[in-house]
Amino acid sequence: MIEQLFFGETDRGEFASRFILENKNGMWIEVSDFGALVLSISLRDKNGFMRDVALGFENMEDYLNTETGMGAYVGRNANRIKGACVNIEGVNYSLETNEGNNNLHSGYNRSHCQIYYSKKGIEDRGEYVEFYRVSPHLEQGFPGNLAQVIRYTLTDSNEFIIDYEMYSDMSTIVNPTNHTYFNLDGHDSGTVLEHELEIYSDAFLNINEEMIPTGDVVNVSDTPMDFRIRKRIGNDINVDFIPLKYANGYDHNYVFENDRKLKKVAKLYGADSGITMTVLSDLCGLQIYTGNFLNGEKGKDGVCYQKNSGICLETQFYPNACNEKKFPSPLLEAGKKFVSRTIYKFELQ
């Protein structure tokens, strides 16, 4: 049975809850109707000890006072939009400039600072909590009243499934993601530089000094971006390679087929816990971010999260795809439905 607990109260007098889902293996996840946040992901390591592998904060207020996006559902549009402007059906829409001249994660009015309606349930695969909210026309600058449904499911196969379902009364941009920072040795274990990573992609998007894709798709061969064979994250992170220098580490989008079929895109290996995490997605992009700008934020259990304390594996359309005609489009036409699934599958090696 899903446990529901008090989490906090917003400055608008809205009450927020924490929801705890647990499977038959003793794995549990904790999510909230405040921002559709992922608060904790806990499971047993190879020695039978419980480890919380998601970075996060103790209190709801801490999520309001951070730009880290810790555990966040990111909508309407994840990642960067060049010039903080998008043209939809001949109309220009101006967005907030919250990273230089560009828009990052839809601006300051973040989706993970809103209260969502919640619904608890169980299906054949396992328990779920579903969050729902209508983002009103021109919220974050985007057109249309956008109905957003985010469902979190925990299966008895230790799969954490994220399902998105969205529709709008006007054509708009829809590019959601989840911004959980993972550390498979435990959120309190230090950096992920000793973790190993596989990314099942031959190419990544080149970026400029503002971290906006140039439009060029670059083969990973003979570059520090090549993770086709399992590799320690820290091996090449400080190599003198311009895209890495621009991002202060890994913060790049890897390219996959735009066939909307669910496929394995990456696998992460803990350094000493024996825990692995396979990522599956039906989208064409995967943003890898190694927590390059974490800077001592005080998290759960009083832990200070430093640079590289966690890694985000964000399934999404490409950054600035709404302005780059060569990229698959994140445009959702009026009256049509957007659906997408991401799976984080945890196992022991």
Q: Which residues are catalytic?
A: 179, 314
Q: 113 in helix, strand or coil?
A: helix
36-57 burial string, b = 16+ CB within 10 Å, else e?
Answer: bbbbbbbbbbeeeeebbbbbbb
CA angle 159/250/86 to nearest 5° reads 85
Identify whether the C-beta of residue 319 lies closer than 8 Å to the C-beta of residue 212.
Answer: yes
Strands 103-104 and 80-81: antiparallel
Identify whether the C-beta of residue 171 lies closer than 8 Å to the C-beta of residue 88.
Answer: yes
Closest C-alpha among 215, 180, 210, 169 to residue 315: 180
Q: 73 in helix, strand or coil?
A: strand
Count of all residues that appear for the chain in the document: 349
- Alpha-carbon distance values, 207 to 43, 140, 185, 244, 320 (Å): 36, 24, 31, 9, 11
Amino acid (1-letter code) at residue 174: V
DSSP structure string for 101-131: TBEETTSSS-GGGSB-EEEEEEETTEEEEEE
Amino acid (1-letter code) at residue 285: G
Q: 191 in helix, strand or coil?
A: coil
Dist CA 215 CA 320 (whole Å): 9
Q: Sign of torsion, CA 215 293 104 289? A: positive
